[in-house]
Amino acid sequence: MGVELPMLSAIIARLADPEQNLAAFGGIVFPVSLLIEAPIIMMLAASTALSRDRDSFERLRRFAVGSGLLLSGIHALVAFTPLFDLLVVGLIDPPSEIIEPARLGMRIMTPWTVMISDRRFHQGVLIRSGHSRAVGIATLVRFVATMSLLFVGFQSGWIGCAVACAALTGGVTVEMLFVRRVVAPVVASDLGVPLPGAAPLDLRRLLAFYIPLALTPLLNLTAQPMGSAAMSRMPQSLNSLAAWPVAFGLIFVLRSVGIAFNEVVVRHAGEPDARRVLGRFTWMLALACVALLALVAATPLADFWFGRVVGLSEELTSLAGTSLWLGLLLPAMTVYHSFYQGLLVHSHQTRGVTESVALFLVITILFLWAGEALGHWPGIWVSLVAFSAGSSVQAAWLARCVRRAGL
């Protein structure tokens, strides 16, 4: 996903009405789709931690599929009914020219959530069983499928937002089917009967474990459409919404490394000397992410990437390049979130994770409100400062929870 987002933006920028379609995709469709998907994002961590035998696998599988279908149903209601105008248009208040491209994109993205839920559940089984290499291959399969669909869409001349949404949905569907094929022999050979005396994974225990995890991305991703709403009400609204998926997408390339680190911590936290080894790797990875982003922001690489590779106008290139400095800490904070969160998930102490994200949301909203009230700066700048401040407070709270738990 980290590499896909810049590629999607590059194709949108080369089709008709690039500013409107970039704003529709990055300001409405993608953040709203992620918000609807949010409750099942942690299915990967849950499956990695809980798919210990055949019985647990079946119970968690039914939960994953049911949750995905329910959330895709909610997505369809938003995309195909007046709820789109009531909730999306009414709350975000986007520029009028991006509403219809966004509506079409939301409709195309309807299957997205159920495919993600199924895929992440089975990926967790692969990681727990020591087959993480298959997860990487599946990601490559998705990337190839997404890029192929992007090429077809680009040749068709369809509107950019629709091309991006169709490519994303198609790529995820191909990946889900591939993961299902790969995981079948793993389930047959590696998942046996429950250990004697092991407590069964009933619905009550599953919900007690998963609900705090589900609240975490739900609260976290609520900030995305809030950021879009704030940008819509601040100076340079259309340019900010158009530059947002491009600048944030590049930052997300580095953040995705930190996001993937969460499952590594969950998988290895119980091993001897894991706390010291993982802790040392955490600060090294965080430093490397910040250094790489600073290198891009401080050199002509930013202009080359945004202007030549993505194909933005000179005005949007300048706005996106300046914005990188304001998001410099985000990749490092994501690495630390994954480290502390992974330790807490491994020890089944997930309350602190939810608390930290609630703090992130509060701090982010306060910064967005202040930026909107002052009205002096482009919305993309204010949003990146707000996200950085919220992420820093989130990391500090997670560190406190880890110390308090004696981990």
pLDDT of residue 303: 94
pTM of the model: 0.83
Contact 160, 17 (CB under 8 A): yes
Burial 22-52 (b: 16+ CB within 10 A, else e): bbbbbbbbbbbbbbbbbbbbbbbbbbbbbbb
pLDDT of residue 395: 95
* Model confidence pLDDT, tens digit, residues 56-86: 888 888 889 999 999 999 999 999 999 999 9
**CA quadruple 135, 177, 143, 74: dihedral sign:** negative
pLDDT of residue 362: 94
| Number of CB atoms found within 10 A of residue 268's CB | 13
Contact 277, 249 (CB under 8 A): no
The domain limits of the chain are 1-193, 202-407
Q: Would you write out the chain's pLDDT as a tens digit for each of its 407 residues?
A: 667 888 898 899 999 899 999 999 999 999 999 999 988 888 887 888 788 778 888 888 888 999 999 999 999 999 999 999 998 888 888 999 999 999 999 999 999 999 999 999 999 888 888 888 888 899 999 999 999 999 999 988 789 999 999 999 999 999 999 999 998 888 888 776 554 555 566 777 788 778 877 877 788 888 888 999 999 999 888 999 999 989 988 998 889 888 888 878 877 777 878 788 888 999 999 999 999 999 999 999 999 999 999 888 999 999 999 999 999 999 999 999 999 988 887 787 778 888 898 899 999 999 999 998 988 899 999 999 999 999 999 999 999 999 988 87
pLDDT of residue 132: 80
Q: Which amino acid would we find at residue 283?
A: W
Tell me how far apart the alpha carbons of residues 193 and 55 are, in angstroms, rounded to a whole number: 7
* Model confidence pLDDT, tens digit, residues 21-40: 999 999 999 999 999 998 88
pLDDT of residue 200: 63
pLDDT of residue 347: 82
